[in-house]
Amino acid sequence: MRRLVLDFADTRPIFRMPDWVAERLRAALPSDWSMYVVTAPAYGAGDGAGAASAEALEAVRDAEVYFGYGIPPEILRHGRGLRWVHTGTAGVAGSLTPEMRASDVVFTNSAGVHGPAMAETVLAMMLHFARGLDFAVMAQAAGRWDKTPFDGEDAPVREIAGSTVGIVGYGGIGREVAARARALGARVVALKRRPAPAGDDVEIVYGPDGLRRILAESDYVVLCAPETAETRGMIDAAALRLMPRHAVLVNVGRGGLVDEAALAEALRTGRLRGAALDVFATEPLPEASPLWRLPNVLITPHVSAYTHRFWERELALIEDNIARYLSGRPLRNVVDKAAGY
């Protein structure tokens, strides 16, 4: 019997695999396949790939396919017969271990599944600063009725319509952000690593020159890129100096994209209107970080992808890829192990 292992018993209830998902997947498998559902707790935050449970390691010994939250190296060491592994996360940095890079196992991820929820979070973050909700929240906490930040000649209250939204990383998440920004009347410019046809009323730019254009022209710079050798630290002090003073930086990609010390200094000195950050170089964000104490920073604890609709979208991707795998067709969302995403 060919074997599929499901290791999705996430400790976070919102991402724990419901029973109905397992039932649907059993129905999708031919009679010569068996399926094992791991019940030991897993933790899929970030890129997943935490230590595998003893139950999961035993289950993959005779498995051909493994689905989990990240791919710990011991899964590959124990699962010598694995031919396809899939992660319920979009990020894969934690899974790209030496074992994974050296293996010929096909590796797929959940890029795009998290896009709608993350894009709505981005929109909320943009509106938070565009409509001055940061000022309103501070005044409310102090029990103060204060229109001063709103009615000055230089008040930073704006509309999304007519603004420019620059998206760094135009994959599944970036496209969802672009669709919502365009719906509100924004101009969208997006940075891609590889040339691609323009579409969706989005201007596509490339390379270092493209990044500089986005930084210089955008009212909102949205980071949706994965963390790779090329993107790590890309938003440094020099990059921040290119942004207009009224601009807002939004990061839902990875914390390592940003030089946090340089960002904190730019925000402290009023060099930028604000920053909305869901991801950080170290998580949880250390208590000593100055980002906690800056009034023009909105912090969320790496929750931009949280939604009760996760399994609806994840199951659709998995079912499609199972059908492709069984018929020998190319899988969706195959990770480029060399590129890092």
Instruction: Provide the annotated active-site residues.
Output: 254, 283, 302
Structure tokens at 12: 């976070």
Within 10 angstroms of residue 276's Cβ, the number of other Cβ atoms is 25
Q: Are strands 164-168 and 106-108 parallel, antiparallel or unpaired?
A: unpaired
The tally of CA atoms less than 13 A away on the side-chain side of residue 168 is 32
CA-derived radius of gyration, the chain? 22
Strand ranges inside the chain, DSSP E: 2-7, 33-37, 65-68, 84-87, 106-108, 164-168, 187-192, 202-206, 220-223, 248-251, 274-277, 297-299
Query: What is the secondary structure of 151-187 as a DSSP string?
Result: HSTT-----STT-EEEEE--SHHHHHHHHHHHHTT-E
Structure tokens at 315: 């199951």
- 71 contacts 95 by C-beta, under 8 angstroms: yes
57: Cα separation from own chain's centroid: 28
Q: What is the spatial distance between Cα 2 and Cα 22, in angstroms, rounded to a whole number?
A: 17
Q: Is 126 helix (H, G, I), strand (E, B) or coil?
A: helix
